[in-house]
Amino acid sequence: MNHLGIGIAILGVGIGLGLIGLGAMQGMARQPEAMSKLQINMLIALAFVELQGLLAFFVLPIMVK
């Protein structure tokens, strides 16, 4: 069951990462001169979403026994 929970958590993280990528890509396509700013902010947002997946993968198996 643990593995199923991790799978569901990673599913949510994947959707979140995809949404961030979608937003950043659309922004870059509409305004190519803002690319560098968008990339930095995109990376920050990616890092925060990615952390949830890492927490689910590394900390959840210890907490749920």
Q: Given the rule CB under 8 A, which residues bind another protein?
A: 37, 40, 43-44, 46-48, 50-51, 54-55, 57-59, 61-62
Looking at the chain, how many residues does it have?
65
Q: Which two tokens stand for residue 39?
A: 């990339």
End-to-end CA distance of the chain: 10
Nearest distance from C-beta of residue 15 to another protein, angstroms: 19
Closest CB to another protein among 25 and 44? 44
**Token pair 């949510």 is at which residue?**
12
Closest CB to another protein among 22 and 40? 40
Nearest distance from C-beta of residue 36 to another protein, angstroms: 8
Q: Looking at this protein, which amino acid is placed at residue 44?
A: I
